Structure 1
Amino acid sequence: MKSLYQNAQNAGYWYPRLTLFALETILLVISSWMLFLDGTEVLNTVFHWNLTHGNAGRNLLLFILILIVFVRMKFTMFYLLRRAMPWQEAFSVPAAFSLYYIVIPLLSLTRNKPLNGWDIVFAVIFVTGSIFNSHSEWLRHLWKQKPEHKGKLYTGGYFRYSVHINYFGDVLWVLAMALTAWNAWALLVPLWLVCFFAFYNIPMLDKYLAEKYDNDFEHYRKKTKTFISFIF
């Protein structure tokens, strides 16, 4: 009986993760098809769009950024994320990431913009956001591995500057990708993400943290910015 229970737990742990991995891999393939193969011709024919082939250097840069995001998120999902993953998340996360893997490249392909010095700035923003997001999670993971920290609230590392510094990192790397597309419409993607975090995800998570950590979280929240370091 115990073995059956453990198998059910393992299934609940792995199946949603593997589903999410498969869906994001499909998105990655579609992105490469658009940026490097005959995707633009097919889309122009089917939907009567007017996509260009883009700029080869910009296409490569965008795909490298997408690939870095893919690898980081899979490391988080399979190694750092120990909680169970609900099936809703297995489908909602790829739906959101389609904005980054498909919509932003599509908007980039509406024009042929050569790489320039600004793209170095965008790359720096991307790296900064990636560090805020992934390295903060890694440091928290190491801290929680110690037995004396079991059940305690982590407020160190990057989280001393913002309660949700990892979400701020998400906004930065998404903003960098949108800027790399050189299409003003792409900026709606990070704007949507800011609204999603500020008005839905952060309030929901703050409620959970307040219930779990009680006074410790209230004290932490009063002395620390919520989302954007030193600002909000």
Structure 2
Amino acid sequence: MELYGKYSRSLAQKAVIHILEIVFLILSYWILFQEGGDWFAKILSIENASDVLLRRQLIFVFNLIVFVRLGYMMFFLLKRKIPWEESISVPLAFALYYIGFSLFVLPVSQKIDTLDFFAIFLFLCGSILNSGGEILRNQWKKRPENKGKIYTEGFFKYARHINYFGDLLWVIAYALITRNPWSVTIPLFLFCFFAFFNAPQLDAYLKEKYGAAYEDYAKKTKMLIPFIY
């Protein structure tokens, strides 16, 4: 599925993505706060420890923030064409966050502590790196003098795909809030997807598009994690 180099508003695909996301948000609410928690607990043979409501509220607030950010970025910042396959795969990926973390938190009865405040901080940092980086890049690209140039400023001077690193941070924050060791599988899967598929694919496209300018940028900047990888 070719994701780069083609431009379109793709309004129908974006509408499908957001309709499906709303469905997953409703399912998340049903699991966290209604009888869905008992239903899944019985199927999965786990406890539904609904006494720590604040932990579940944090998960759902995270869900809402991610939904709003994705909507803004897709409708106002994303310029490339969205293939119909992606209009299905993207909501399914976000179902891992909305539904997956809602299920992981079900058996957890631990009260909110310092680690949870750190997770909230991590979530905010990741959201700022991801959405903030895209907003700054969009503003830079609107200037006529920057047409045809590669953006290497703002957060992107610390890593070529700093927006993906931001994604990793807020997904790790979800996992910390759940306090379920199995939840580490989601950020681990996301890291592997970015590190070994998505980022290299985008690197290849940008190298072809910008040539020597991108090669020079790549020599000076880490791919995904600032100063490390």
Report the TM range for the smaller structure's normalisation: over 0.9
Residues 63-101 of structure 1, C-alpha deviations (whole Å, 9 max, x = no match): 111111111111001111022211111111111111110
Q: TM-score normalized by structure 2?
A: 0.93
What amino acid sits opposite 1:32 in the alignment?
Answer: Y
Residue in 2 that maps onto 1:126: 123
TM-score, reference length from structure 1: 0.92
Any stretches of 5+ residues in structure 1 without a counterpart?
A: 1-8
Q: Which residue of 2 aligns with 1:217?
A: 214
Which ranges of structure 2 fall in alignment gaps of 5 or more residues?
1-6
Task: Choose from 76, 80, 87 the match for 2:77.
Answer: 80
Report matched runs for 1:65-214 at 5 Å. Answer: 65-214=62-211
CA distance in 2 between counterparts of 1:215 and 1:27 reads 43
Deviation at 1:151, TM superposition (A): 1.5
Asked if the contact 2:41–2:106 (Cα under 8 Å) also holds between the matched residues in 1, the reply is no
Specify the code of the residue in structure 2 equivalent to 1:113: Q
Q: Percent identity?
A: 45
Give the deviation of 1:50 after TM superposition.
2.4
- Whole-angstrom CA distance in 2 between matches of 1:183 and 1:43: 16
Hey, what does 1:5 align to over in structure 2? none
Q: CA deviation at 1:44?
A: 3.7
> Residue 15 of structure 1: which of 12, 27, 31 is its match?
12
3-state DSSP class of the match of 1:143?
helix
Q: Which position in structure 2 is the counterpart of 1:50?
A: 46
2:223 match: secondary structure: coil
CA contact (8 A) 1:104 1:186 kept: yes
1:40–1:51 CA contact under 8 A, matched in 2: no
State the shift of 1:53 in Å.
Answer: 4.1
CA distance in 2, matches of 1:152, 1:76: 21
Considering only CA atoms, is the larger Rg found in Structure 1 or Structure 2? 1
Q: Retained in 2: the 8 A contact 1:127–1:173? A: yes
Instruction: Measure the CA separation in 1 of the matches of 2:38 and 2:105.
Output: 15
Contact 1:132 1:158 in 2 (8 A): yes
Q: Is the 8 A contact 1:35 1:53 kept in 2?
A: no
State the AA in 1 paired with 2:63. Answer: I
Shift of 1:48: 5.4
Once the two structures are TM-superposed, the CA of residue 49 in structure 1 deviates from its matched residue by: 2.7
Give the CA deviation at 1:224.
0.8
4+ residue runs over 6 A deviation: none
CA distance in structure 2 between the aligned counterparts of 1:192 and 1:48, rounded to whole angstroms: 22
| Bigger shift: residues 33-42 or 14-23 | 33-42
RMSD: 1.4
CA distance in 2, matches of 1:122, 1:49: 28
